[in-house]
Chains A and B, each alone.
Chain A
Amino acid sequence: MNTAIRRLSVLIAALFGALLVASTVIQFAQAGSMNRMAANKRTLLDNYGQERGSILVGGQAIAKSVEVDDQYQWLRTYPEGRLYSQITGFYAYSVGNPFGLENAADELLSGKADRLFVRRVTDLVTGRETAGATIELTINPKAQQAASQGLGKNRGAVVALDPTTGAILAMVSHPQYDPNPLSSHDLDEAATAWEKLSTNSAKPFINRAITGDLYPPGSTFKVVTAAAALEQGIVADENSRVPGPAELDLPLTDTPLPNETRQPCGPNDQTTLIHALEISCNTAFASLGLELGGKQLRDQAGKFGFGLDSIKIPMRVSPSTIPAEMNEPQAAQSAIGQYEVRTTPLQMAMVAAGIANQGRVMTPYLIQTIRTADLDVIEDTPEPEELSQAVSPRTADILKRMMVSVVDNGSGRRAQIPGVAVGGKTGTAQHDLDKDPHAWFISFAPADDPKVAVAVVVEESGVTGNEVGGAAVAAPIAKDVMEAVIGR
């Protein structure tokens, strides 16, 4: 029997060998990848066990971790929850941190970013508790407040930029939500809040300013068309004459493109470029679009940032789109911001800001300073970064004069600020024939020394066929935001 016993002991040794190999694979070879799994509660609890960095706006925390006496140790709270909800996102136990800065700046806030490496080493040596980095935002709290109040109960979004740097001064998306119950340690409360918000048809988690389904830009896109026409030499300056009939015959189709007023834009079916923009003349810009063709329209839009997939503020910004292949009627439609042109409010704010800033479009950003938990600076204000020179300074000057005239004499009167030269452009964007169009307004101020550029979109509150009607809703919001920034 001893031979059999010896052979059986070899089998037993093999069984133990399998257990030893499996343990080594789990605890050594695959430990790293298993620790990084999103569903791993231990990793999540490790993160809870460490103080997460705060997010500051104007010196006040809009997200901070508070020490509490439960197994999670640190509770994430958002003192002005709703106002900054799309910027901060939330930090939930069961669903994690899928949105906002909590997601996009997670490595900084959790202290795991490579650029915090030196800090972690010194923490290790000095025995200090490692905490996440505190990040200070470029947001101007007054502008943020003004934007949110202006939107009120409407759905929509507001973005304000500093035209010279690209710093984001306000970013609001309605509807907002309260991130506090989602981040609660009372898991039932958190689950209820998640259930309610994630199934809400208004999609409150979506930051409409930079992502979501995107909006047709409507007449605000006429600024881009004008820029292309000026750059290509199709028109010399704002006083050049352009066609402006009541209806524009389009090639390849029997359906003509009409003005919303069904009236010609000037005597003899002609007008000037500046007047065409003031009254938002469809036929004038559509005919410019016909002359330019789809490719040049698309190239000009691209210079303002359309189609760019790489913008991170640090949240990823959905690229605004303009179709690649367009026939003539489609180019004409696109030239007035319809057809398949889709954009984010941030992109339209970049268009306004680029024009205000002598044609230079700056890369937008949200994080001003990165600090340690005790507020020593780790990384200071980033060097402003040019995204592109969208138009020449001369073209920018002409466009600026035209947009100031829109506010002074045209459809954008509601954005006037006494004593300040404001430039702007209204828009009414068709998106669904059964619903009211979206109301748009893009603007900048002061025109001679630009401090702020704004884009406002208010969903389904325009009036079909009436440019001023849409402007009545969107322009005052832009005005309030600009006033908040320039201190009037």
Chain B
Amino acid sequence: MTTTVEPVIPRTRRGVELVLLVVAIAIVLLAWVTVDLNRNGTVPANIFPVAGGLVVLAAVVHVVLRWRAPYADPVLLPITIALNGLGLVMIHRLDLAAGRLGTDGSANQQIIWTALAVALTVAVIWTLRDHRLLRRYTFVSLAVGFILLILPLLPGLGREVNGSRIWIGLGPFSFQPGEFAKIALAVFFAGYLVQTRDVLSLAGKRVLGFTFPRGRDLGPILVAWVLALLILVFEKDLGSALLFFGLFVAMLYVATERVSWIAIGLLLFAAAVAFALSAFSHFQKRVDLWLDPFSPENLERSNQLANGLWGMAAGGLTGTGLGAGRPWLTSFAESDYIFASLAEELGLIGSVAILMLYLLFVERGVRTALGVRDGFGKLLAIGLTFSVAFQLFIVIGGVTRVIPLTGLTTPFLSLGGSSLLANWIIMSLLLRISDQARRPVPELPVGVGADPAASEATQVVRL
């Protein structure tokens, strides 16, 4: 018995999650109250229902995690709650500015979507006991992803909004199926690449220090490229095309560890951009706007980019204060431009804080990918994480003039059910994978072989 070492039991860290959840909810409630204090000078009457609702939603997920995924990452859920809550605050604030009150408000819709998203998260964590089960659905995922992507193109179903055909309408509801396609395609890429990674990474000839793949292995990347091009041409959605193609190339690189895939990807992407620029005036205009958003002719054409920048500038270092700025002057202030809206009222300090929340979220995703032991899990985790990070870069990079503006939603913050549901599902998949990653290795009980008595005892238990 003296040789027996106390087994190191990894800590679940659910307590940390609880504390962080309290902090996240406190930040959101403080922001909610600040809006009304700044606008009306009163504490909002609905503070108790809002507080209660948030606590219930967070508590439900927390309890389910304690039960079904006790080793899941403790930081992902609090960040999600904080971002979703801050988005709600800004949507509510824009409701007030537009005079939409109570159940007419967009915030009301967003609360319902949040509740649905939480329900979906609980369902995912509850029913999906192990992420490796998803691998069985590799090609089903491909079919689902593909169908979701082409749905908006079907006549009668698809709707064109602001020049991009990425919506479908079902009665009074409308969805952006692309948001869900992102998840399906990440599952497919992970399942497919984990099978084919050996051939994709080993075969090929060396040119200039890089190992280039054989011609026949180029098939998959070309298929992905053509798919992205189709989105570009028929749905006129540069943002989604960029996101899907970037996601595939990133996962391909992780699966094969070959830089040449990135080079090929960039080359194909450059060709697609050159084609889009020459073929569609739509894209040419966006580049013009990006290069000089303040010229009178460009302001005449679209003042959205300039207005967003002016809004951020008006916020300055410390912001105008929640409820005290004019974010509504920018079009899509509650969706594509919600980052600029928050930046205006929270200042540079607020924008950096929000970016840091995302960075932390992504860091936890990367850590999960590093920690999980199976290849499929690694690929899925890094794929989902990269999709969030890259989507964020495409939309906020567009708003802050790092790249030309292309319409995408800001994960967790933007108004819109599809985006919210999809990103909560991504979060719950990451939670599930991280539970696997951080769970102690299910090896033979400690001391087996060294201590026959203990072994025996175990057998007794097993019987």
Q: Which residues of A contact B (CB under 8 A)?
A: 1-6, 8-9, 12-13, 15-16, 18-20, 22-24, 26-28, 30-31, 34-35, 37, 39-43, 45
B225 in contact (CB, < 8 A): no
Once the chains bind, are B313 and A8 in contact (CB under 8 Å)?
no
Q: Which residue of A lies closest to B295 (CB)?
A: A39
Once the chains bind, are B400 and A19 in contact (CB under 8 Å)?
yes
Stretch in B375-383, B414-422, B438-446 with 4+ CB within 8 Å of A: B375-383
Chain A residues near B390: list those with CB within 8 A.
Answer: 12, 15
List the 3 shortest-distance A-B pairs measured between CB atoms, nearest first.
Answer: A34-B313, A22-B400, A27-B348
Chain A residues near B272: list those with CB within 8 A.
Answer: none
Q: Which of A2, A4, A43 has the most CB of B within 10 A?
A: A4
Given contacts A18-B397, A37-B310, A40-B310, 10 further A-B contacts (CB under 8 A): A8-B250, A20-B352, A22-B400, A22-B401, A23-B352, A34-B310, A35-B313, A35-B314, A39-B294, A41-B329
Interface residues in B355-376 (C-beta closer than 8 Å to A): 355, 358-359, 362-363, 366, 369-370, 375
Once the chains bind, are B312 and A27 in contact (CB under 8 Å)?
yes
Chain B residues near A15: list those with CB within 8 A.
Answer: 389-390, 393, 397
User: How far, in Å, is B401 (CB) from chain A's closest CB?
Assistant: 7
Residue of B303, B382, B386, B402 touching A19 (CB-CB under 8 A): B402
Chain B residues near A28: list those with CB within 8 A.
Answer: 316-317, 348
Once the chains bind, are A39 and B306 in contact (CB under 8 Å)?
yes
Residue of B296, B312, B363, B386 touching A26 (CB-CB under 8 A): B312
Assembly CA distance A43 to B310 (angstroms): 9
B178 in contact (CB, < 8 A): no
Once the chains bind, are B306 and A27 in contact (CB under 8 Å)?
no
Interface residues in B396-412 (C-beta closer than 8 Å to A): 396-397, 400-402
Once the chains bind, are B310 and A5 in contact (CB under 8 Å)?
no
Assembly CA distance A31 to B311 (angstroms): 10
Once the chains bind, are B315 and A27 in contact (CB under 8 Å)?
yes
B351 in contact (CB, < 8 A): yes
Q: Per-residue 0/1 for B294-329: is the Cβ within 8 Å of any A Cβ (1 yes, 0 no)? A: 101001000100110111111111000000001001
Offer 24 A-B interface pairs, CB within 8 angstroms, sorted by A: A8-B366, A12-B362, A12-B366, A12-B390, A15-B390, A16-B358, A16-B362, A16-B389, A16-B393, A19-B392, A19-B393, A19-B396, A22-B402, A23-B343, A24-B348, A24-B352, A26-B309, A27-B316, A27-B317, A28-B317, A37-B294, A39-B303, A41-B326, A45-B326
Once the chains bind, are A8 and B312 in contact (CB under 8 Å)?
no
Residue of A8, A16, A26, A41 touching B382 (CB-CB under 8 A): A8
Q: Which residue of B lies closest to A42 (CB)?
A: B314
Q: Which of A2, A6, A13, A23 has the most CB of B within 10 A?
A: A23
Assembly CA distance A45 to B378 (angstroms): 52
Stretch in B65-73, B118-126, B252-260, B426-434 with 4+ CB within 8 Å of A: B252-260
B347 in contact (CB, < 8 A): yes
Chain A residues near B375: list those with CB within 8 A.
Answer: 1
Assembly CA distance A24 to B351 (angstroms): 9
Assembly CA distance A1 to B253 (angstroms): 9
Q: Which residue of A lies closest to B340 (CB)?
A: A26
Assembly CA distance A3 to B257 (angstroms): 8
Q: Which residue of B lies closest to A18 (CB)?
A: B402
Assembly CA distance A282 to B382 (angstroms): 95
User: How far, in Å, is B304 (CB) from chain A's closest CB?
Assistant: 12
Chain A residues near B313: list those with CB within 8 A.
Answer: 26-27, 30-31, 34-35
Once the chains bind, are A5 and B370 in contact (CB under 8 Å)?
yes
Chain B residues near A1: list those with CB within 8 A.
Answer: 254-255, 257, 375, 378-379
Assembly CA distance A40 to B392 (angstroms): 27
Chain B residues near A8: list those with CB within 8 A.
Answer: 250, 253-254, 366, 382, 386
Once the chains bind, are A19 and B397 in contact (CB under 8 Å)?
yes
* Residues A16 and B355 in contact in the complex (CB < 8 Å), given A22-B400, A42-B329: yes
Q: Which residue of B lies closest to A12 (CB)?
A: B389
Tell me the dominant secondary structure on chain B's binding face: helix
Q: Which of A15, A18, A42, A43 has the most CB of B within 10 A?
A: A42
Chain A residues near B317: list those with CB within 8 A.
Answer: 27-28, 31
User: How far, in Å, is B307 (CB) from chain A's closest CB?
Assistant: 7
* Residues A6 and B315 in contact in the complex (CB < 8 Å), given A12-B386, A15-B393: no
Once the chains bind, are A27 and B257 in contact (CB under 8 Å)?
no
User: How far, in Å, is B63 (CB) from chain A's closest CB?
Assistant: 31
Chain B residues near A23: list those with CB within 8 A.
Answer: 312, 343, 348, 351-352, 355, 400
Assembly CA distance A45 to B363 (angstroms): 41
User: How far, in Å, is B380 (CB) from chain A's closest CB?
Assistant: 12
Q: Which residue of A lies closest to B259 (CB)?
A: A7
Residue of B309, B358, B362 touching A34 (CB-CB under 8 A): B309
Once the chains bind, are A26 and B378 in contact (CB under 8 Å)?
no
Assembly CA distance A31 to B396 (angstroms): 18
Chain B residues near A39: list those with CB within 8 A.
Answer: 294, 296, 299, 303, 306
User: How far, in Å, is A47 (CB) from chain B's closest CB?
Assistant: 13
User: How far, in Å, is A287 (CB) from chain B's closest CB?
Assistant: 55
Chain B residues near A13: list those with CB within 8 A.
Answer: 359
Assembly CA distance A1 to B371 (angstroms): 11
Assembly CA distance A23 to B317 (angstroms): 10
Chain B residues near A42: list those with CB within 8 A.
Answer: 310-311, 314, 326, 329
Q: Which residue of A lies closest to B351 (CB)?
A: A23
Assembly CA distance A2 to B370 (angstroms): 6
Assembly CA distance A39 to B296 (angstroms): 9
Q: Which residue of B lies closest to A26 (CB)?
A: B312
Assembly CA distance A4 to B262 (angstroms): 12
Residue of A6, A19, A22 touching B370 (CB-CB under 8 A): A6
User: How far, in Å, is A7 (CB) from chain B's closest CB?
Assistant: 8
Chain B residues near A30: list those with CB within 8 A.
Answer: 313
Once the chains bind, are B370 and A41 in contact (CB under 8 Å)?
no
Chain A residues near B347: list those with CB within 8 A.
Answer: 27
Q: Which residue of A lies closest to B400 (CB)?
A: A22
Assembly CA distance A22 to B348 (angstroms): 11
Q: Which of B315, B348, B392 has the most CB of A within 10 A?
A: B348
User: How far, in Å, is B433 (CB) from chain A's closest CB?
Assistant: 13
Chain A residues near B311: list those with CB within 8 A.
Answer: 42
* Residues A27 and B329 in contact in the complex (CB < 8 Å), given A1-B254, A34-B310, A34-B313: no
Once the chains bind, are B309 and A5 in contact (CB under 8 Å)?
no
Assembly CA distance A251 to B233 (angstroms): 79
* Residues A5 and B254 in contact in the complex (CB < 8 Å), given A28-B317, A34-B313: yes
Chain B residues near A5: list those with CB within 8 A.
Answer: 254, 366, 369-370, 378, 382
Chain B residues near A26: list those with CB within 8 A.
Answer: 309, 312-313, 400-401
Once the chains bind, are B326 and A22 in contact (CB under 8 Å)?
no
Chain A residues near B400: list those with CB within 8 A.
Answer: 19, 22-23, 26
Chain A residues near B306: list those with CB within 8 A.
Answer: 39
Interface residues in B163-179 (C-beta closer than 8 Å to A): none
Q: Which residue of A lies closest to B367 (CB)?
A: A9
Q: Which residue of A lies closest to B311 (CB)?
A: A42
Q: Which of A8, A16, A27, A31 has the most CB of B within 10 A?
A: A27
Q: Which residue of B lies closest to A11 (CB)?
A: B250
Chain A residues near B352: list those with CB within 8 A.
Answer: 20, 23-24
Chain B residues near A4: list those with CB within 8 A.
Answer: 253-257
Chain B residues near A6: list those with CB within 8 A.
Answer: 370
Q: Which residue of A lies closest to B320 (CB)?
A: A42
User: How far, in Å, is A34 (CB) from chain B's closest CB?
Assistant: 4
Chain A residues near B307: list those with CB within 8 A.
Answer: 41
Residue of A9, A27, A37, A40 touching B351 (CB-CB under 8 A): A27
Assembly CA distance A8 to B383 (angstroms): 11
Residue of B254, B355, B386 touching A20 (CB-CB under 8 A): B355
Assembly CA distance A9 to B254 (angstroms): 11
User: How far, in Å, is A41 (CB) from chain B's closest CB?
Assistant: 6
User: How far, in Å, is A72 (CB) from chain B's closest CB?
Assistant: 12
Q: Which residue of B lies closest to A34 (CB)?
A: B313
User: How far, in Å, is B378 (CB) from chain A's closest CB?
Assistant: 5
Assembly CA distance A20 to B359 (angstroms): 11
Assembly CA distance A6 to B363 (angstroms): 11
Assembly CA distance A4 to B309 (angstroms): 36
Chain A residues near B316: list those with CB within 8 A.
Answer: 27-28, 31
